[in-house]
Amino acid sequence: MLNKVILIGRLATDPELKYTPSGVAVTSFRIAVDRRMTPNAAGEKETDFIDIVAWRQSAEFAANYLNKGRLVAVDGRLQIRTWVAQDGTKRRTAEVVANDLRSLERPRDSSGSPSNYDGAPHAAEAGVGAGMGSAQEMDQDFNDPFADQ
C-alpha cells in the first residue's frame, strides 16, 4: 500500500509552533494550492486550502523559516483524524503529515522584493529530510508552476 502526498503551494497561514507535554515540537499551518483545471465561469482559478502538520525538526524549521505567502514544497502522507467535539458530535478532518518541507524561494524584504540571503539554512542544512533534492538544487531559481494559470 502507498500513502504519499507531494504538494507545492503558498502558506496561507503562519506556522503555529507548539510542544507536546513530553517536549516534542509540532507545528500546523495551511497551504493554498491552485488546481490545474479550466478556470471557472468567472474566469478565476480554484484553490484548495490544505492543512499541514509537521513534527520535530520539520516543525522547528517551519516555525523559524517559513511564513505566510512563502512558496513551499511538502512531501508527506495523508492522515484522517477523528475526534468528539465538545457538543458530543463526531468530527473528522484530513491533513497532510509532512515528512519533508522545502522553502522554494528566498525570503522577501519589507518592500516585497527578494532579499539578500539572510543566512537561514535550507531544509537539508537544518537537518530536515532529504527526499526532495539537495540544498544546491534549492539555490537554483524556482518559478512558481501556478503563476501562469
Range of the domain at 10: 5-136
Identify the pLDDT of residue 44.
Answer: 73
| pLDDT tens by residue, 80-121 | 999 899 999 999 999 999 999 999 987 665 555 555 444 444
Strand, coil or helix: 32? strand
Identify the pLDDT of residue 45.
Answer: 79
Identify the pLDDT of residue 110.
Answer: 55
Contact 65, 103 (CB under 8 A): yes
Q: Within a domain: residue 127? A: yes
Identify the pLDDT of residue 46.
Answer: 85
Higher pLDDT pick, 133 / 14: 14
CATH code (residue 117): 2.40.50.140
Identify the pLDDT of residue 125.
Answer: 43
Q: What is the count of structural domains for the chain?
A: 1
Cα–Cα distances (Å) from 112 to 56, 70, 108, 119, in that order, read 30, 11, 5, 18
Q: Within a domain: residue 25? A: yes
pLDDT surpassing 70 at residue 145: no
| pLDDT tens by residue, 29-79 | 999 998 876 666 666 778 999 999 999 999 999 999 999 999 999 999 999
